[in-house]
Amino acid sequence: MFRLIFVLFVIVCNAFLVSSLELRSPEIIIFTSGQTTTSLGFYNSGDTSLFTGEFDRGIVVNLVSSLAQVSGNSYGSFSLLVNGNISPGIYFDTLTVYKQGVPLFEIPVIIGVESINRVREYDALIKIDSNDLYFIEGDLIVSPDISLFKLNFNPPPSNTVVLKVYFYSIDGELINSFVESIAVSQQATFGRSYNLGAFEQEDLLMAVVAENDGTTGIDLQRINLRDALGLSLSPPVEKDNFPSIIYFSFVALLFGFLILTILYLSRYVRRRRNNSRYGVLKIR
């Protein structure tokens, strides 16, 4: 009986750990092709501990070492190893960090890989703030300024830049994309407005890709929509975020109910056995 209670306790605790796993702010990293190493930092607000990390996919980036000893109330980091043969583009992964074997938090990692500097012809830059985010009849409108600029003074075969704009959720789901061609001699800055429709998440990733003569320049910008909600004419419904104490209370109540049920059944079975042993007969 006690073994059954212990197994139920372990199951409930694991469910609580999964439900309360903290999601940290995403890390945006831009590499050039051939670059192989960088680092990803985090803060340890507890005692000195041994942390381990693991990527969900591990296709584009992996850990040089999955172990990191971090002092209390200090910053620690993991060294990242990037696949040197990866093609230019935008990639998503998630780093799960464990503390003494217990999952502690997750860090979404967004990776932009662009062509190496010496061959890249054009690059891109996004400029956006909370005044460029608003809702009209429930549709999210994003109005950034985009700059395209040449990285050298060598005349390219063509001054036409293919501009590709992508909007993703933080976990990598493509929301919408836009493509246009723009003639740029040395530099051009212009405003654009993009209607993304109904959007209920608080974070958004905007990616701008500038392609010319087989080379790629990339800029990535995380957009926090909480600042835009106050400007909403008809804002979308926000998702509920229950604090950990609610999950803990629910799990505690559920576990208490299971214990009471098991104790009641155990007492009932014991009484039946005693009644059978001593020949007790109940007459109704």
Tens of pLDDT, residue by residue, the chain (284 residues): 555 544 444 444 554 444 446 767 888 888 777 667 888 888 888 899 999 999 998 888 889 999 999 999 999 999 988 887 788 999 999 999 999 888 989 999 999 999 887 788 899 999 998 889 988 888 899 999 999 999 988 887 889 999 999 999 998 999 999 999 999 989 999 999 999 998 778 889 999 999 998 999 999 999 988 766 544 444 444 444 444 455 556 666 777 777 878 777 777 777 766 666 555 444 44
Q: What is the pTM of this model?
A: 0.71
- Residue 282: the pLDDT is 45
- Residue 278: the pLDDT is 52
CA distance 29 to 207: 12
- Residue 21: the pLDDT is 61
CA 38-149-194 angle, to 5 degrees, is 90
- Residue 279: the pLDDT is 53
- Residue 245: the pLDDT is 53
Residue 158, CA distances (Å) to 65, 124, 125, 130 in order: 44, 17, 20, 36
Q: Domain 22-114 belongs to what topology?
A: Immunoglobulin-like (2.60.40)
Residue 59, CA distances (Å) to 10, 39, 56 in order: 33, 17, 9
CA distance 75 to 41: 7
- H or E segment and range at residue 217: strand 215-224
- Domain boundary assignment for the chain: 22-114
- Residue 17 burial by CB count (10 A; 0-12/13-18/19+): exposed, middle or buried? middle
Question: 114-153: buried (b, 16+ CB within 10 Å) or exposed (e) per residue?
Answer: bbeeeebbbbbbbeeeeebbbbeeeebbbebebbbbbeee
- Residue 262: the pLDDT is 79
- Residue 156: the pLDDT is 73
Contacts of 90-93 with CB under 8 Å at 24 or more apart are 90/166, 90/168, 90/207, 90/209, 90/218, 90/220, 91/59, 91/60, 91/61, 92/168, 92/171, 92/172, 93/55, 93/56, 93/57, 93/58, 93/59, 93/60, 93/61
CB 223 within 8 A of CB 129: no
CA distance 137 to 146: 26
Pairing of the two strands 102-114 and 22-23: parallel
- Residue 281: the pLDDT is 45
Which of helix, strand or coil describes residue 94?
Answer: strand
Write the CB contacts of 208 (distance below 8 Å, at least 6 apart in sequence).
124, 125, 126, 146, 163, 164, 165, 166, 218, 219, 221
